Amino acid sequence: MTQPAVSVNATEERLAGLDMPAGGWSKPARHDALARVRAMGLPQRRDEYWKYTRPDTLVAATAPKAAVFDPRETPVFDGIDRLKIVFQDGVFDAAASDDLRESGVTIERLSEAQADIHWAADLYGRLETRGQTPVARPLAALNTAFASDGVLIRVSGACARPINLQYHHGAEHSDAMLHHVIKLEQGAALTLLENGPAAARFNKVMEVDVADGASFHHVRAQGRDHERRAVTHIFARLGAQSVFKSFTLTANGVLTRNECVIELTGDDAVAHVAGACVGDGDFHHDDTVFVTHDAVGCESRQVFKKVLRNGATGVFQGKILVKKDAQKTDGYQISQSLLLDGDSQFLAKPELEIYADDVACSHGSTSGAIDEDALFYLRSRGVPHGDATNLLTLAFLAEAVDEIENQALRDEILGRLSGWLERHSG
């Protein structure tokens, strides 16, 4: 594939500003990834896959400035008993982190693990590479090549408490790149929490290998810094009868692109990916999801809800690909936006591509305003306009939030959403 000169220039300009970590065992994977980046070229505005989201600031040689925001409230998940691992502008903060030794799980850091870690070497960059077909994701390959740190988590049993990756943002020009590798062995279980704005610009990749019968629950809150930018990728492979459930809350952030690439490779696996985002003003949020069914009897759900006001933009690109032998597939996809005023917009591209003949797949996408009849009904019972609007907005988001199975985590996320709505109502 020949790239236009402009793309080559932009790619080389970006690469010139980056130093590849020594890497040890990850070195071959990093060099392969760099070759992929050069072959693909970094995304540019003309790319079909970036039609609704401008990649310029994610690709630029330096990160645009992002003011550090003090939310003046207890960080999300603080009330949950969990093992905390903290990164400050992408740099591991040992003092703020818990002891990484935990039963049922081994946790190592990408930057520390110099000795050969076979399991991680077998995965690092591998799921990302698989996820490059049929659609190129160059920023993920860039991450594999240059990520400065990350965690390598291997779960052999049931991890007693959630692991919480916290990303603090303290410098206005910080440019962070983290790469996590998570392996759940047969029958293992892990809840992973992520929160925080991370940096002025954050590029994160998470590769998750879920073996047969294992289950992975993921809840993330992306941090309220208004000017932060992020591009994140999750690459997951699911074995037979495994479960993968991921939910993301995004409040604020000038630009967020969350890609999730899931491959169901074992029979009867379940993959749910959901997101709720709330944006007011200078806010652009893109959920790009690609679910491939390559086994019999699997279920996948994509549930994305966006609340947009004052010129905020929401994007959804979601695809379900059902391969020829993936019979009895149950695929569901819904993306909806609630536009609280006439200035906001929602751009959606739902896709189904089905080669098996015995499947049930449905998808839907809607954009709408607050239901005036419901609003009047609530007001006629004495609920003030702002409160009634917020109640209906939370109701709109409920289908996505309900994807969080754990009630304490769900309540935590609901609390954050209510708080945001109260601050932004009127």
**Residue 35 found at the interface with another protein (CB under 8 A):** no
Q: Is residue 399 involved in binding another protein (CB under 8 A)? A: yes
- Binder to another protein among 8, 100, 361, 394 (CB under 8 A)? 394
Question: Reduced to 3 states, what is the DSSP secondary structure of residue 270?
Answer: strand
Q: Determine, following the binding rule CB under 8 A, whether residue 380 of this chain makes contact with another protein.
A: yes
Token couple for 84: 């905390």
Mark 217-256 with x for binding to another protein (rule: CB under 8 A) and - for no binding.
----------------------------------------
Choice between 355 and 376, CB closer to another protein: 376
**Is-contact 267 238, C-beta < 8 A?**
no
Near another protein by CB under 8 A: residue from 377, 408, 411, 415: 377
Tell whether residue 392 is a contact of another protein (CB under 8 A): yes
C-beta of 151 vs 388, nearer to another protein: 388
Indicate whether 80 belongs to the interface with another protein (CB under 8 A). Answer: no
Query: Using the rule CB under 8 A, which residue among 378, 404, 414, 417 binds another protein?
Result: 378
Under rule CB under 8 A, residue 426 binds another protein: no
Smallest gap, in angstroms, from Cβ of residue 410 to another protein? 14
State the DSSP H helix or E strand holding residue 201, giving kind and residue range, or none if neither: strand 201-210
- In this structure, which amino acid lies at residue 29? A
Of the chain, the end-to-end C-alpha distance in Å amounts to 51
Decide: residue 389, CB within 10 A, 0-12 exposed, 13-18 middle, 19+ buried: buried
The C-alpha atoms of residue 254 and residue 188 are separated, in whole angstroms, by 37
- Out of 16, 72, 115, 382, which residue is the one contacting another protein (CB under 8 A)? 382
Which residue number, 228 or 305, has a Cβ lying nearer to another protein? 305
**What CA–CA distance (Å, rounded) separates 36 from 173?**
27
Task: Tell me the window of 149-157, 167-175, 205-213, 385-393 that interacts with another protein (CB under 8 A).
Answer: 385-393
Alpha helical stretches, state H, 118-205: 118-123, 126-130, 138-146
Least Cα distance to 206 among 227, 179, 246 occurs for: 179
By CB under 8 A, is residue 100 in contact with another protein? no
381 sits near another protein (criterion: CB under 8 A) = yes
For residue 308, state whether it binds another protein (rule: CB under 8 A). Answer: no
Whole-angstrom CA distances from 20 to 15, 142, 149, 235, 376 are 10, 10, 11, 22, 59
- Report the alpha-carbon distance of residue 282 to residue 298 in Å, rounded: 39
By CB under 8 A, the residues from 345 to 374 that bind another protein are 371-374
Residue written as token pair 């870690």: 117
Among 387, 405, 406, 419, binds another protein (CB under 8 A): 387
Q: Report the interface residues with another protein, using CB under 8 A.
A: 371-374, 376-385, 387-388, 391-392, 394-396, 398-399
